């Protein structure tokens, strides 16, 4: 690899796409002896309508705790299954687009973002815009958009197992 990366950012939102990005980021990090920052951005604007126009301190605390627990579980899974422990977890509040593309990078000096392809359909992308598209266009470092599944240690893509038929 011509470019060696030392600090990889993987934004996680609970989607299969973001977790595929993490799987590939672990492989890249192992090859480069790099650190991985796992980031979950809580966009409080998306929750305002659900709570009658107001979001309470208790709700904010619970959202933050849920995000921390989600990331901690992911980090433990990576440590156990992939034998990789050079991870940090972070929860931020704000607009996911700008936090991922600019704000977080300024604080943590990541040199690569590995982000999952959008999980939105065409109409949703038109209405709200894709975080992935924004990050790809505006990030302050290299961006790798992950579209395919988990990669084995030999570099071959592992196909997802089909569920058993009933």
CATH number for position 22: 3.40.50.620
CA distance 30 to 60: 35
pLDDT value at residue 121: 59
Tell me, yes or no, whether 162 lies in a domain.
no
CB atoms < 10 A from the CB of 60, how many? 14
Q: Is residue 12 part of a domain?
A: yes
- For residue 160, is it within any domain? no
Enter the tokens of residue 134: 């924004």
- Between CA 119 and CA 122, with CA 116 as vertex, the angle to 5 degrees is 30
Residue 159 domain-assigned (yes or no): no
In a domain, 111, yes or no: yes
Measured over all CA atoms, what is the biggest interatomic distance in the chain, rounded to whole angstroms? 52
Each residue of 120-146: b (16+ CB within 10 Å) or e? beeeeeeeeebbbebbbeebeeebebb
Per-residue pLDDT tens over the stretch 35-56: 999 999 998 676 665 555 567 7
Q: With respect to residue 166, please indicate whether it lies within any of the assigned structural domains.
A: no
Using a pLDDT cut of 90, give the percent of the chain over it. 57
- The pLDDT assigned to 60 comes to 82
CA gap 159, 13 in Å, rounded = 22
Taking 50 as the threshold, does the pLDDT of residue 112 lie above it? Answer: yes
How many domains would you assign to the chain? 1
Order of strands across the sheet that contains 112-116? 87-93, 35-42, 7-11, 112-116, 142-146
Whether 1 is covered by a domain: the verdict is no
Q: Residue ranges of the alpha helices (H) in the chain?
A: 16-32, 45-48, 57-82, 96-98, 104-108, 122-128, 131-138
Strands 112-116 and 142-146, sheet pairing: parallel
pLDDT given at position 61: 87
Domain with 48 in it: 7-146
Question: Rounded CA gap, 100 and 108, in Å?
Answer: 11
**Of 18, 31, 33, whose CA–CA distance to 154 is shortest?**
31
For residue 33, pLDDT over 80 is answered with: yes
The string of pLDDT tens digits covering residues 9-23 is: 999 998 888 999 999
> Is there a domain that residue 157 lies in?
no
Q: What is the pTM of this model?
A: 0.81
């Amino acid at each position: 690899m011509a470019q060696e990366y030392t600090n990889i950012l993987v934004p996680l939102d609970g989607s299969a796409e973001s977790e595929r990005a993490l799987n590939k980021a672990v492989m890249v990090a192992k090859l480069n002896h790099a650190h991985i920052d796992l980031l979950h951005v809580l966009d409080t604007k998306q929750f305002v309508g659900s709570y009658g126009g107001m979001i309470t301190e208790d709700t904010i605390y619970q959202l933050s705790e849920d995000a921390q627990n989600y990331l901690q579980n992911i980090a433990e899974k990576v440590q156990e299954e992939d034998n990789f422990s050079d991870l940090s977890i972070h929860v931020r509040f704000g607009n996911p687009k700008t936090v991922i593309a600019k704000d977080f990078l300024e604080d943590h000096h990541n040199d690569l973002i590995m982000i999952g392809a959008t999980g939105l359909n065409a109409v949703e992308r038109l209405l709200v815009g894709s975080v992935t598209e924004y990050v790809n266009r505006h990030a302050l470092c290299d961006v790798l958009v992950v579209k395919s599944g988990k990669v084995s240690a030999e570099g071959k893509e592992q196909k997802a197992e089909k569920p058993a038929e009933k």
